[in-house]
Amino acid sequence: MPTPVYDTTAPVLVTGGTGYVAGWLIRRLLEEGFTVHATVRNPDDPAKVGHLTQMADALPGSLTLFKADLLEAGAFAPAMAGCRVVFHTASPFTLNIEDPQRDLVDPAVKGTRNVLETVNATPSVERVVLTSSCAAIYGDNIDVAGTTGGILTEDDWNTTSSIGHQAYSYSKVMAERAAWEMADAQSTWRLVVVNPSLVLGPGLAPTQTSESFNLLEQIAGGAFKSGVPHYEIGVVDVRTVAEAHMRAAFLPEAEGRHITSAKTMSFLDVADVIRRSHPDRPLPVRTLPKWLLWLLGPMVDKAVTRRFVARSVGHPWRADNSKSKQALGLEYHPVDTAIEEMVQQMVDTGRLKPA
Ligand code: NAP
């Protein structure tokens, strides 16, 4: 099994330190004794950064917060100075947007270029770990059937998303392509990419913006109680994703992309897991016919377009995670437990009303 080398003599940078995934990554880095530089948009907001400073107080490593916005040229330079590894996690993960170019694609793509331009100007950086997504590998579920062997691998790229269709996925594939283009144009640092599927499990911050929480809130909160689309998706525990980043950064031989996905679940499978620990919640018990979704979906939710229903509902999703296990030595936490913990946290914090 490959063994990571934790050399803590130089600091490491995590962009988007307030994020759901970044919180668990920063925790792992602090546990290993790293000096962590984390960029956030507002370091003076205790509601966004309090959990990070508390973790740093309790763990062996140390943490310094820096202010940086993805769209501000040069903003990452002070935080990156002297760092050996850069984890670029910052990128909006929300479906609740007004303008897909402004709200998703620009921060993802221009932000990635901005961070990597500073990497090019910072000689201490040897490795960049990019938080990409399975969304950079496929666009709609129907794409899976068109791959070699009917299963997604690291050789596949999302070619079907656009600014007008699956804009979040488009933002991720364009950002990852920009990153590879810049990595291939130089030879001083190495790019290693983590491609998680839907990340689940409890958060470390008191409030969460990640779409992961919105989706679980919808399923456990009754939004689908009269039925869910038969929609399959890859799922992975947030702690597994944090560990994948650690291994991508600190295994000397790590290279390329890594599908980081524990298994496939349908929305009804997720509801069935929640039902075991929360039987009183208003959970769906059936899937809705595809024709009904096609007809009514766009009127109920602007994200449920007819093109989405036609190309994703009822089409199986499969991905090959063997590279993450072999090359990174990744062991997958059980996702069912992650779902139960996440729902319990949302009940405990009041985000989900009592059933
Ligand atoms: P999240 O909690 O919403 O984190 C997003 C982070 O990006 C936040 O720290 C946010 O900062 C930052 N950000 C957004 N716009 C920014 C800007 N203009 N300038 C600086 N920072 C900005 O979401 P997450 O789920 O942890 O996502 C983190 C990464 O994982 C993203 O790259 C996402 O695409 C990827 N990913 C997530 C999943 C998933 O299921 N959650 C799956 C695959 C990949 P603020 O707190 O200031 O808004």
* Sequence spans of domains, the chain: 12-348
Rounded-to-5 percentages of helix, strand, coil across the chain? 40, 15, 40
pLDDT of residue 274: 98
**Confidence tier at 201 by pLDDT (50, 70, 90):** very high
With the most atoms of ligand 1 within 8 angstroms of its CB, the residue from 20, 166, 169, 214 to mutate is: 20
Q: What percent of the chain has pLDDT over 90?
A: 93
What is the DSSP code (8-state) at residue 165? B
Report the C-alpha gap between 154 and 137 in whole angstroms: 7
In this structure, the residue with its CA closest to atom 42 of ligand 1 is: 198
pLDDT greater than 80 at residue 200? yes
Sequence letter at residue 47: A
pLDDT for 72-113, tens place per residue?
999 999 999 999 999 999 999 998 889 999 999 999 999 999
> How far is residue 271's CA from residue 279's CA, in Å, rounded to a whole number?
10
Q: What is the average pLDDT score of the chain? A: 96
In the chain, the N- to C-terminal Cα span, in Å, equals 45
256 and 192 Cβ atoms separated by less than 8 Å: yes
Where does the pLDDT of residue 355 fall: very low under 50, low under 70, confident under 90, or very high at 90 and above?
Answer: confident
pLDDT at residue 340 tops 90: yes
Closest CA relative to residue 107, chosen from 182, 225, 231, 16 = 16
Q: What percent of the chain has pLDDT over 70?
A: 100
Q: Assess whether pLDDT exceeds 80 at residue 1.
A: no
Q: Give yes or no for residue 287 having a pLDDT over 80.
A: yes
Tell whether ligand 1 has an atom less than 6 A from the beta carbon of residue 210.
Answer: yes
Residue 217 alpha carbon to ligand 1 centre in Å: 18
Whether residue 293 is predicted with pLDDT greater than 90 in this model: the reply is no
Query: What pLDDT is attached to residue 300?
Result: 78
Give the integer Cα–Cα distance in Å for 272 and 275.
5
| φ/ψ of residue 160, rounded to 5 | -110, -10
Ligand 1: does its nearest atom lie under 6 Å from the Cβ of 234? no
Residue minimizing CA distance to atom 36 of ligand 1: 133
Architecture of domain 12-348: 3-Layer(aba) Sandwich (3.40)
Distance CA 25, CA 321 (A): 20
pLDDT score of 235 more than 80 = yes
β-sheet bridge partners, residue 256: 192
- Ligand 1 pocket residue status of 90, Cβ below 6 Å: yes
- How many Å lie between the centroid of ligand 1 and the Cα of residue 343? 20
Give yes or no for residue 310 having a pLDDT over 80.
yes
The encoded tokens of residue 335 equal 């996702």
Best residue among 66, 93, 241 to mutate for probing ligand 1, ranked by most atoms within 8 Å of CB: 93
Residue bearing the CA closest to ligand 1, atom 25: 210
pLDDT value at residue 89: 98
Label residue 102 exposed, middle or buried (CB < 10 Å: 0-12, 13-18, 19+).
exposed
Residue range 168-180: average pLDDT?
Answer: 98
For residue range 117-172, what is the model confidence (pLDDT) as tens digits? Answer: 999 999 999 999 999 999 999 999 999 999 999 999 999 999 999 999 999 999 99
Q: Is the pLDDT of residue 42 over 80?
A: yes
Q: How far is the CA of 42 from the centre of ligand 1 (A)?
A: 14
From the CB of 69, is ligand 1 less than 6 Å away? yes
- φ/ψ of 147, rounded to 5, equals -85, 165
Most ligand 1 atoms within 8 A of CB, residue of 14, 15, 21 to mutate: 21
Distance 69 CA to ligand 1 centre (A): 12
Q: Going by CA atoms, what residue is nearest to atom 18 of ligand 1?
A: 70
- pLDDT of 294 reads 86
**172 Cα nearest atom in ligand 1:** 34
